[in-house]
A = this chain, B = another copy of it.
Amino acid sequence: MSRTVAIVDDHTLFAQSLKNLINTFDGYEVSGIYKNGRELTHQFEANRAKPNLVLLDIKMPIMDGPETMCWLKENYPTQKVLALSMEDDEETITFMVKQGCRGYLLKDIDPDGFKFALNKVIEEGYFYTDAVSDAIKNKEKSLSKLTKREIEFLSLACTEMTYKEVASEMNLSPKTIDGYRESLFQKLNVKSRTGLVLYAIKNRILLL
């Protein structure tokens, strides 16, 4: 009785190659390859047999990993999902885990480690590498030192609005905006508005 695995990844070369690899694992069989979350949800809605495990890529132009994860949490909350990503993007890892993703793998894992992770998730329910666990901790740390209002200010500071305009947008005095600016400068160890923008982008607080 094979364990079935569905692959959701728009990078066809990788998906097809991965299918070949998984089919060499004893007891595993790839039941389907889908280019995006949309194709997967269509399969689920057609009442086709559910796979034991969904391998879900994060970045896809149409219905990406996080979006698909939300749908699965709402419609098939017991479906086991293992995320695959190129990089340890803290923002996304944290989000996926909160949506019930059972594991998060980086694509630098070797085939043996990969097979081990598949077994873990199917048999025990969860598998996280140390790198991913660390990313979760770092993410919670990096934003936790900023208050809600500070984050709101930071988002607006990363636009071409003058601080006076930002004050108006937030219904505050320019002096308050100056207070937030100073607070962020100290917390983030920057010394200019440009520094704020660069920090926000580097730390994915601002997405472009």
Q: Which residue numbers of A lie inside 8 Å of B, CB to CB?
A: 10-14, 16-18, 20-21, 24, 59, 84, 86, 105-111, 114, 157-160, 190-195, 197-198, 201-202, 208
Contact = CB atoms under 8 A, between A and B. Distances in A.
A16 B38 CA distance: 28
Nearest to A61: B108
A108 B11 contact: yes
Given A160-B194, A198-B197, A17 B21 contact: yes
A3 B76 CA distance: 47
- Tell me how many chains of this kind the complex includes: 2
Contact of A158 (B107, B198, B208): B198
25 contacts: A10-B108, A12-B108, A12-B110, A12-B111, A13-B84, A13-B105, A13-B109, A13-B110, A13-B114, A16-B21, A16-B110, A16-B111, A17-B20, A20-B21, A157-B194, A158-B194, A159-B194, A159-B198, A160-B190, A160-B191, A193-B194, A194-B194, A201-B201, A201-B208, A202-B208
